Amino acid sequence: MNTMIVKIQSEGDSFSPQEEMALRQAGEIIKNGGLVAFPTETVYGLGGDGLNRESSRKIYAAKGRPPDNPLIIHICRLEDIYPIVGDFPEAARKAAEAFWPGPLTMVLPKSGKVPFETTGGLDTVAVRFPSHPVARKLIGFSGGYVAAPSANLSGKPSPTAAKYVIEDLEGRIDMILDGGEDEIGLESTILDMTVTPPQILRPGFITKEMLEGVLGEIGTDITIINPESSQAPKAPGMKYRHYAPKGELTIVEGSPEQVVDYVNRSAAEDRAAGEKTGVIAASDFLGGYCADVVKCVGSREEEEGIARKLYAILREFDDEGVTRIYSEGFDSQGLGQAIMNRLLKAAGHNVVRL
């Protein structure tokens, strides 16, 4: 399949006539059952018609994704939520008012309009109203309901720029809209609104503290807090070893001196054994590390920057053929919880505590 790649670089909500035309064409592709990758404020999405079971099947096939892992339906007007949910409770309304459009996904009972192919067989549907102008315009031209997982091959880090979508999906989908780099870099927060209190199934840019400020008490899926829990995560996708770099990743926690010392000793042993070694570190102690490739993920003072860079760094290690990766751990409060959650999954929960 020939994949069309179109740049949409305009600032804000205004598009050139050419861009407007490309977005219309992308919308037609989705309406006709095809697939289009597009930027959002979190990561790139792989969009198809969320109300068309064939489109959902195609999405799973293009990504190589297990079909029991449900898709998020993206909307571009609040009122469009009513036809796809069985119930829109007061708390969900409040959260929508506070955080939509934006990086929050809410799980609600689904209506009969939503095919089970889209929800991976579940009676609930995940709904998100993104803020990215390209995403919103495209959803409008596509009929209003775009099912979109992250636009990566299953098991790879989510793409934060079009070049990563091209790497993974060129030749497998109809079109890629290149809107530059995504602002946030980690997937949306998923909040289950079918339980009381509402429960976080995947941490993200909208933090527990922010949600509590609007909704009061918020729970967190036990499998996020305690990865050793034998329970299955409630967001089916969270059970897969996602975001995985090819190299073996170990997270090392302890005092900065201990961490630097442990990483340097381990990396030296690995190199002696013929491995190519890499380190992911914040700017603070960067100079202390000794490995084949040392990457700075940003300053601990600025967690937004770390979130934005993390997936690109994991992909770069793959490109550079690094086989053993060590990463510093991060604070697990606020946005740090989302960063640590993704890092732990990339590491398959391989953590050394000194």
**Sites of contact with Mg ion (CB under 5 A):** 150
One of 23, 37, 126, 138 touching ligand TXA (CB under 6 A): 126
Judged by CB under 6 A, the stretch of 2-10, 18-26, 65-73, 290-298 that binds ligand TXA is 65-73
Environment class of residue 84 by beta-carbon count within 10 Å: exposed (0-12), middle (13-18) or buried (19+)? buried
For residue 38, report the phi and psi dihedrals to the nearest 5 degrees.
-150, 155
**Who contacts 322 (Cβ-Cβ below 8 Å, separation ≥6)?**
245, 247, 276, 277, 278, 292, 293
What is the radius of gyration, based on Cα positions, of the chain?
Answer: 20
Least Å from the CB of residue 226 to Mg ion? 22
Q: Does 277 bind ligand TXA (CB under 6 A)?
A: no
Least Å from the CB of residue 243 to Mg ion? 8
With CA atoms as reference, report the closest residue to 225 among 215, 237, 234, 216: 234
Least Å from the CB of residue 179 to ligand TXA? 12
Identity of the residue, 22 or 43, whose beta carbon is nearer to ligand TXA in the bound complex:
43
Residue 233 belongs to what H/E stretch? Answer: none
Least Å from the CB of residue 158 to Mg ion? 5
One of 42, 52, 56, 199 touching ligand TXA (CB under 6 A): 42
Identity of the residue, 191 or 294, whose beta carbon is nearer to Mg ion in the bound complex:
191
Q: Are 326 and 310 within 8 A, CB to CB?
A: no
Identity of the residue, 59 or 259, whose beta carbon is nearer to Mg ion in the bound complex:
59
With CA atoms as reference, report the closest residue to 199 among 211, 184, 187: 211
Q: Does 146 bind ligand TXA (CB under 6 A)?
A: no
Q: Which does 201 bind (CB under 5 to 8 A by kind): Mg ion, ligand TXA, none?
A: ligand TXA
351-353, strands of its sheet edge to edge? 293-296, 277-281, 324-328, 248-253, 351-353
Judged by CB under 6 A, the stretch of 9-17, 19-27, 232-240, 316-324 that binds ligand TXA is 232-240
**Region of 243 on the Ramachandran plot (φ > 0 left; ψ -120 to 50 alpha; else beta):** left
Note the residues at the interface with ligand TXA (CB under 6 A). 40, 42-43, 45, 69-72, 105, 107, 119, 122, 124-126, 128, 148-150, 187-188, 190, 201, 234-238
